[in-house]
Amino acid sequence: MIKLSNVSKTFGKGFKAVDNLSLEIEEGFIHGFLGPNGAGKTTTLKMITGILKADEGEILINDIDISKEPTLAKKEFGFVSDNPDLFLKLKGIEYLNFVGSVYGMDKIKLRENIFKYAKILEMNEVLNNKIESYSHGMRQKIAIIGALIHEPKIWILDEPLTGLDPKSSFTLKEMMKEHAKKGNVVLFSTHVLEVAEKLCDKVAIISKGKLVFDGTIDEMKNKVGEDESLEKMFLELVDDE
């Protein structure tokens, strides 16, 4: 479980990117995280993962406080950032071996997982190439493999489908469904409302740093309008804010 309690983050001269946000991401669900550009989605995900420190509030990852025990908390999740352009001078295999060593993985298990996920995402043939030679979609896939390699129960994915070809996109979505079905946590942000509507069990919508909705699509329809599309409901919720 991921639990945020009264979390806030301010930048510069009083710009409150996240404002008193409380949210629970439970096991067994794919939980979408939606919002307009600049709503605070990426800032929130960076605080959850410990990249940014919250100014106020508490963030628990499986009951571990990310601010007090960051190393322990980070072992609980895999994170795919919205920017896959990292470690470009390394070969794909070097990057994955590095990630595995950070998590203290057994070398045999690490090798098994590298080739298991590389096969699933069709990256086996390019593991010995430098990441700088990869297309955006390939960089995204190597980042996904790196996030999943230690088999975390919590997946935190920031726009994970961006740049993926249709087959890889379908594969990742199926992996997300299977992971949640096993009683694990999947939290992902997306700008594609159609994907969220088809894939998510629950959605949380943030606007101007504040949570404006958290629940199932059916609950949103009950709140906004039975016959509305997710796009219209989304717009109505964020416009109200």
Instruction: Inform me whether the pLDDT recorded for 236 exceeds 80.
Output: no
Local confidence band at 216 (pLDDT 50, 70, 90 cut-offs)? confident
Q: What is the mean pLDDT of residues 22-40?
A: 91
Predicted confidence at residue 105, as pLDDT, reads 93
Read off the pLDDT of residues 63-83 as tens digits, 9 standing for 90 and up: 999 999 999 999 999 999 888
CATH 3.40.50.300 applies to domain 1-76+154-166+175-241: yes
Residues of the chain with pLDDT > 70, as a percent, come to: 97
Instruction: Inform me whether the pLDDT recorded for 241 exceeds 60.
Output: no
Q: What is the mean pLDDT of residues 184-211?
A: 90
Predicted confidence at residue 226, as pLDDT, reads 61
Asked if residue 29 lies in contact with residue 176, where contact means CB atoms within 8 angstroms, the answer is no
Local confidence band at 230 (pLDDT 50, 70, 90 cut-offs)? confident
Local confidence band at 234 (pLDDT 50, 70, 90 cut-offs)? confident
For residue 184, count other CB atoms closer than 10 A to its CB: 18
Task: Give domain limits for the chain.
Answer: 1-76+154-166+175-241, 87-152
Instruction: Inform me whether the pLDDT recorded for 231 exceeds 80.
Output: no
Q: Is 35 left (phi over 0), alpha (psi -120 to 50) or beta?
A: left
Q: What is the mean pLDDT of residues 6-28?
A: 92
Packing angle of the helix pair 136-148, 92-102 (nearest 10 deg): 30
- Which of the two residues, 94 and 222, has the higher pLDDT score? 94
The first and second tokens of residue 177, run together, are 């469904």
- For residue 162, which phi and psi values (nearest 5 degrees)? -60, 125
| 59 beta partners | 4
Predicted confidence at residue 235, as pLDDT, reads 78
Q: Which residue has the tokens 């309008």?
A: 225
What's the mean per-residue pLDDT of the chain?
90
Read off the pLDDT of residues 105-151 as tens digits, 9 standing for 90 and up: 999 999 999 999 999 999 999 999 999 999 999 999 999 999 999 99
Predicted confidence at residue 195, as pLDDT, reads 86
Local confidence band at 13 (pLDDT 50, 70, 90 cut-offs)? confident
Local confidence band at 227 (pLDDT 50, 70, 90 cut-offs)? low
Q: Is 28 left (phi over 0), alpha (psi -120 to 50) or beta?
A: left
- For residue 52, which phi and psi values (nearest 5 degrees)? -115, 150
Read off the pLDDT of residues 35-50 as tens digits, 9 standing for 90 and up: 888 888 999 999 999 9
Q: What is the mean pLDDT of residues 213-220?
A: 86
